[in-house]
């Protein structure tokens, strides 16, 4: 996974050991509302997100005040969607960054955390495709926590 150099004013993204690819970033907030909503939701400037999954389901969270809240929200949403109603594991977490989850046709998967959803998606795809799926992997989820 390629990490971009962090700018002095921007905190470096937190990266997990296992990469996974994700697509489906939330739409941008209306002009003017984004700054106000972000400030109200998280006054200290931290914006955490997470991706959780099982072999059959996945979910994500974003714009959470703490890593624990982001992981809990992603895991809870994933468990609500899973057949068994449990068993979701957090695959990636990030602070003021983007995460992505990619999956192949025979269980291959990867996650990535990068500065943008495009970079996270590309990194997740590359990682997933390195597992040699019979068909190319695809990004199934991509999410950004405002930064």
Residues 6 or more apart whose Cβ sits within 8 Å of residue 51: 20, 22, 58, 59, 60, 74, 90, 91, 92, 93, 99, 100, 101, 111, 141, 143
**Mean pLDDT, all residues of the chain:** 76
DSSP secondary structure letter of residue 134? S
Residues 6 or more apart whose Cβ sits within 8 Å of residue 147: 10, 47, 96, 97, 115
Cα(first)–Cα(last) distance of the chain, in Å?
Answer: 20
pLDDT class for 21, splitting at 50, 70, 90? very low
Using the predicted structure, report yes or no on whether residue 145 has a pLDDT greater than 60.
Answer: yes
Three-state secondary-structure class, residue 125? helix
Per-residue pLDDT averaged across 24-38, rounded?
A: 39
By the 8 A CB rule, do 28 and 62 touch? no
Write down the H helix ranges in 42-92. Answer: 67-81
pLDDT digits (tens, 9 = 90+) for 2-12: 333 333 333 33
pLDDT digits (tens, 9 = 90+) for 78-108: 999 887 767 899 999 999 999 999 999 888 9
CA–chain centroid gap for 122, Å, is 13
């Amino acid at each position: 996974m390629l990490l971009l150099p962090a700018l002095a004013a921007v905190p470096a993204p937190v990266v997990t050991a296992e990469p996974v690819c994700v697509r489906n970033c939330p739409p941008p907030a209306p002009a003017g509302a984004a700054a106000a909503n972000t400030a109200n939701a998280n006054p200290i400037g931290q914006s955490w997100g997470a991706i959780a999954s099982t072999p059959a389901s996945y979910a994500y969270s974003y714009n959470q005040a703490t890593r624990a809240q982001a992981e809990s929200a992603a895991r809870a949403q994933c468990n609500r969607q899973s057949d068994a109603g449990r068993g979701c594991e957090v695959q990636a977490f990030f602070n003021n960054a983007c995460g992505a989850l990619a999956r192949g046709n025979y269980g291959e998967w990867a996650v990535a955390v990068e500065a943008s959803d495009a970079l996270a998606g590309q990194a997740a795809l590359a990682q997933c495709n390195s597992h040699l799926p019979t068909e190319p992997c695809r990004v199934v989820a991509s999410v950004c926590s405002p930064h």
